[in-house]
Chain A
Amino acid sequence: MVSRIGYALAWLQVTVFACIWMYYDQQEALGHGIFFNQWDLLTAVTMNTYLLIYDVLLLVLVLSIIRIRADLTENRLIRFRDSRSALLHSTGRFAKVWGTGLLLYGAVGYIFTLQAPSASVWSLAARTEQVFYVSKDSLFFDLPPLIAHLLQLGFLFTGGLLIHLLLGLVYLWTKRTKLLYLLASLLFLGTGLAFKIGLPSPFFLLSLAALLEYQAYAFWTGCVLVIGAGLLLLDRPIRLPQSGGAASLYLVCCVMIFLMQPVGQTYGDYLIAVFSGTASENFSFQPYLNHAVLFFGYTYLLTQRFERDVIQQGMYHIIRHQSLNRWFLRQFSRLIMTAVLTATGLVVLATGFAFIQGVKWTTEMESLLIRITTLLYHTVVNGSLQLIVYGLILFLVLYWTREAVQGMYWIGGAMVALLPLVRQDWMPVGLNGTVRLLDHSAVSITIQLVLTGLFVLTVIQLAFRRQIRTTY
C-alpha cells in the first residue's frame, strides 16, 4: 500500500511539472502570437527534454532500484532456474508498473492539453518554426501526431526497460547495492552533463525525437547489443581467449585490412597498399599497424603453438624423438607449411577482396614500377620466408628461455625494430613489405631472408649442443 502511494506520488510530481511546463509554454506561445493545437502542447508532456533528463530519468532509476532490491535478493533468485530468468521476471514486473504509470501520465497530460484548440494534424507553427520540443525538421512531422506521441511513449517505455535491464545486470553480476546506487547516480548526473556537451547519453534511450534529430542510431543499437550480450553471458563464467578465438580475431583483422582499402585502384596497387609495410622515409602509422597485424598476428598464433610443443610438453617430445634435430625438424616442417599457407592465403584472400572492391584488372601499377609477377613473387615467396624467419627466431627464443612471454617480448621488439628511429637495412624484420621494392629487388630480399634463416638455424644448432634447460 505504501509503495503504491509512493508510485502515485512520484508520477504525480512528474505530471505536475509537465503541466506547469505546458502552461508556461502555452503562455509564451500566446505571447508570440503562435497558433498551436493540443498535439503541440502534448510534446511538453512526452518530449520535454529537461523533464525527461531531470525528472523522468530519475523516476526510472528510482523505480528500477526499488524493483531490483525487491526482486533480485538471494531468497528470490533461488526460486528461478537462473539469474537471467529472475532478471526477466523482474523486468516484467517493472514493465507493469512503468507502463501503467506512463499510460496514466500520458492520458492525464492529454486531458490537460484539451484546453488548446483541437486538431487532427500538427499545427502549421510546428512545421514552420521550432515550437515546443520538436525541431521543425523532425521526422515526427511526417507522422500523424497521435501516432508520433504513441511512438514516443512506446520508445520511453522501452527505454525504461533497457535502463532497468542494465541496472539489473550490473547488480546481478556484482551483487553490490552500493555499486548499483553509484551507477544510477552516474547515469543521472552523466546524462545531464553529456547532454550539455553534446555527447551520447541515456537521454537517447528516452526521447525518440532526440534520437531522430541527432541520428544517434549507433548509440541506441550499441546499448541494445551490449545489454543483449550481458543477458546472454549472465550465469556464464568469464573465459579468457583460447587459440581458436585468437585465430578468428586474426582472420577478422586481416579481412578488415582488405576491406578498408581505397576503391578504384588497379589490382597491383591494391596489393601494394595491403602489404606495403614500412620504410624509414615517409613512415606511415596505418601501414605499419597493418603489417604488424598481418605478420606478427601469425607470429603470435605461432607463440601459442610453440608454448605447447617447446615449453609445456617439450621434454616429453624430445625423449620420444630421441633426437633434438628430429624433434626440431617436425617443428620446422610445420613452420614452413603454415608460413607458406599463411602468406599464400593472405594473397589469395586479398585477391578475392580486390575482386569484391572492384579493382581494375590490369597489370599496370601506379605506386611502383615493377611487374605484377614480381609483386606476386615478393608477396608470396618473400612473405613466406619472412614468416619463417620470424618463426625460427621465435623458436630459438622460446627454446632458450623456456618462457612463453618472451615470445611476446620478441614480437614487441620486432615491432619496435620496424620504427624509423630504429630500423636498419640489415634487420630481418619487415623485409616482405612491398615498400621495400622501391630500393631493393625482390631477389635480393629473398637472398637476405634465406641467409638470415640459415643464420638462425645455425644458432639453433649451436643451442642444441648445449644442455637442455628443464628448470622452470
Chain B
Amino acid sequence: MITLTNVSKRYKGQELFHDVNVSFEAGKIYGITGINGSGKSVLFKMLCGFVFPDEGTIEVDGRRLAGKNRFPKDFGILIERPGYIGQLDGFSNLKELARIQNKIDDATIRKAMEQVGLAPNLTQKVKQYSLGMKQKLGIAQAIMENQQVLLLDEPFNALDADSVERIRTLLVHYKQEGRTIFLTSHQQQDIDLLCDEVYHIQEGGLNHIR
C-alpha cells in the first residue's frame, strides 16, 4: 500500500537515502531502526508529505504523493515532539483537532484518552503535564479518528512500564483490525515484541532485516 520507488534524500548535507526501493503492505507493524540522525524522522516526514524526496516517488494506495495529493489520507502521526496548546486541557486539545474533520464525537475522544491511559476529565492544562502525559496525548490524537495508517516516532518515550504495556497491547489490537503501523524505537524489546517486519537505515539504504 505504500511504495517507495528510487527515493533519494539529502538532509543538511548528509545523504540519508540513496535510490531506495521498498513496498509496505497493509495490516502489519513495521519497525524502523537506525542510529541517531540516520533519517528515521525524515522518512516519516516523507511518508506523510511534509518533506519531499530529492528523487524518486512515494505512492500511497496507488496515488503518488505530489501536487494535489501531497498528503495521504487517513494517517495518524506522532513525529518529533507532540504538538499541543499548553493553555488548554487534554480533552480540549484533542477537540480542537477533531473539529477539523468532524468525524468523531466527544465520547470517542474520551475513549481515545482512556485507551492511552489519560483521564478524560482532567482539568489540568497540558503545559503542566509530565512528559509521559504529553506523549500519551500525542498518541491519543494519532489514533482517535480511527486512522488506518499510524506513523509513530518513538511512541514509548517517557512512558512508564504500565503505559508501555498498554500502548503495545493497543498497537497489536490495531494491527489485528487491519491498520498499518510504522514505529521507531531505541528499545530493541519494543521492536522484537511488536514488529512483523523490521527495516534498518544505514549508509543511505533502507535494509530489510526481518
Q: Do chains A and B touch in the complex (CB under 8 A)?
A: yes
Query: Does A120 make an interface contact (CB < 8 A)?
Result: no
Cβ contact within 8 Å between A313 and B71:
no
Residues in chain A near residue B45, CB distance under 8 A: 468, 470
- Contact between B73 and A308 (Cβ–Cβ < 8 Å)? no
A75 at interface (Cβ–Cβ under 8 A)? no
Query: In the complex, what residue of chain A is closest to B82 when comparing beta carbons?
Result: A316
Q: How far is the CA of A314 from the CA of B80 in the complex (A)?
A: 13
* Chain B positions 93 through 117: 1 when the CB is less than 8 Å from some CB of chain A, otherwise 0: 1001100110000000000000000
Asked whether, in the complex, the Cβ of B96 is within 8 Å of the Cβ of A313, the reply is yes
User: Interface digits, A279-322 against B, CB 8 Å rule (1 contact, 0 not)?
Assistant: 00000000000000000000000000000100011111111111
> Judging by beta carbons under 8 Å apart, are A313 and B77 in contact?
no
Contact B50 A320 (CB under 8 A): no
Contacts A313-B97, A467-B51 hold; do A319 and B83 have CB atoms under 8 A apart? no
Q: Which of B21-29, B84-92, B162-170 contacts A (4 or more CB under 8 A)?
A: B84-92
Partner of B85, one of A312, A318, A324: A312
Q: Indicate whether A426 reaches chain B with its CB closer than 8 angstroms.
A: no
A312 and B79 in contact (CB under 8 A), knowing A322-B71, A323-B68, A324-B70? Answer: no
B71 & A319 in contact (Cβ 8 Å cutoff): yes
B79–A470 CB distance below 8 A: yes
Give the bracket for the number of chain A residues in contact with chain B: 20 to 34
A319 near B80 (CB under 8 angstroms)? no
Name the CB-closest residue of B to A314. Answer: B83
Number of interface residues of B (CB under 8 A): 27
A316–B48 alpha-carbon span in the complex (Å): 11
Give which listed residue, A308, A312, A317, A470, contacts B100 with CB less than 8 A: A317
Partner of A315, one of B77, B86, B101: B77
How far is the CB of B129 from the nearest CB of chain A, in Å? 14
**8 A Cβ contacts from A303-362 to B:** 308, 312-324, 330
Q: Evaluate contact between B86 and A312: CB separation under 8 angstroms.
A: yes
Instruction: Point out the residue from B86, B87, B141 that lies within 8 Å of A316, measured CB to CB.
Output: B141
Q: A472 on the interface (CB 8 Å rule)?
A: yes
**Whole-angstrom distance between the Cβ of B179 and the nearest chain A Cβ:** 16
Among B71, B84, B93, chain A packs the most CB atoms within 10 A around the CB of B71
Task: Check if B50 sits within 8 Å of A315, measured CB to CB.
Answer: yes
**Known A-B contacts A315-B50, A316-B97, A470-B80; A308 and B68 likewise in contact (beta carbons under 8 Å):** no
Indicate with 1 or 0, residue by residue over A222-261, a CB within 8 angstroms of chain B CB atoms.
0000000000000000000011000000000000000000
Distance (whole angstroms) from the CB of B84 to the closest CB of chain A: 6
- Contact assessment for A472 and B81 in the assembled complex, using a CB-CB cutoff below 8 Å: yes
Kindly supply a per-residue 1/0 record for chain A positions 44-69, scoring 1 wherever the CB is within 8 Å of any chain B CB and 0 otherwise: 00000000000000000000000000
User: Mask for B28-67, Cβ within 8 A of A = 1, else 0?
Assistant: 0000000000000000010010111000000000000000
Q: Are B77 and A319 in contact (CB under 8 A)?
A: yes
Most B C-beta atoms less than 10 A away, residue of A243, A320, A321: A320
CB-defined contacts of A316 to chain B, threshold 8 Å: 77, 83, 97, 141
Nearest chain B CB to A239 CB, angstrom units? 11
Question: With an 8 A cutoff between CB atoms, is B120 at the interface?
Answer: no
Q: Which of B75, B80, B83 contacts A312 (CB 8 A)?
A: B83
**Chain B CB within 8 A of A471 CB:** yes
Min C-beta distance of A185 to chain B, whole Å:
40
**A322/B81 in contact, CB under 8 A:** no
B72 is an interface residue with CB less than 8 A from chain A: yes
Bound: A460/B30 CA distance, A: 36
The distance in angstroms between the C-alpha atoms of A322 and B103, with both chains bound, is 14
Alpha-carbon distance between A210 and B63 when the two chains are bound, in angstroms: 85
Interface contact A320-B101, CB-CB below 8 Å: yes
Which residues of A sit under 8 angstroms from B52, Cβ to Cβ?
A: 467
A313 touches B50 (CB 8 A): no
Q: Tell me how far the C-beta of A329 lies from the nearest C-beta in chain B, rounded to whole angstroms.
A: 12
Cα distance, A242 to B141, chains bound together (Å): 25
Residues in A neighbouring B51, C-beta threshold 8 A: 467-468
Q: A residues within 8 A CB of B77?
A: 315-316, 319
If A322-B73, A471-B80 touch, whether A317 touches B85 (CB-CB below 8 Å) is no
Question: B200: shortest Cβ distance to chain A, in Å?
Answer: 23
Q: Which of A243, A322, A330, A468 has the most CB of B within 10 A?
A: A322
The docked-state distance in angstroms from the alpha carbon of A318 to that of B70 is 11
The interface bits of chain A over 13-29 (1 if a CB of B lies within 8 angstroms of the residue's CB, else 0) are 00000000000000000
Q: What are 15 of the A-B contact pairs (CB < 8 Å)?
A: A308-B96, A313-B84, A313-B96, A313-B97, A315-B79, A316-B77, A316-B97, A320-B100, A320-B145, A323-B68, A467-B50, A468-B45, A470-B50, A472-B80, A472-B81
Using a CB–CB cutoff of 8 Å, the interface residues on chain B facing chain A are 45, 48, 50-52, 68, 70-73, 75, 77, 79-81, 83-87, 93, 96-97, 100-101, 141, 145
14 further A-B contacts with Cβ under 8 Å, apart from A313-B93, A315-B83, A320-B145, are A242-B87, A243-B87, A308-B96, A312-B85, A312-B86, A313-B84, A313-B96, A315-B79, A316-B141, A317-B97, A467-B52, A470-B45, A471-B80, A472-B80
- The 8 closest A-B CB pairs, nearest first, are A320-B100, A468-B50, A322-B71, A467-B51, A313-B83, A308-B85, A312-B85, A320-B101
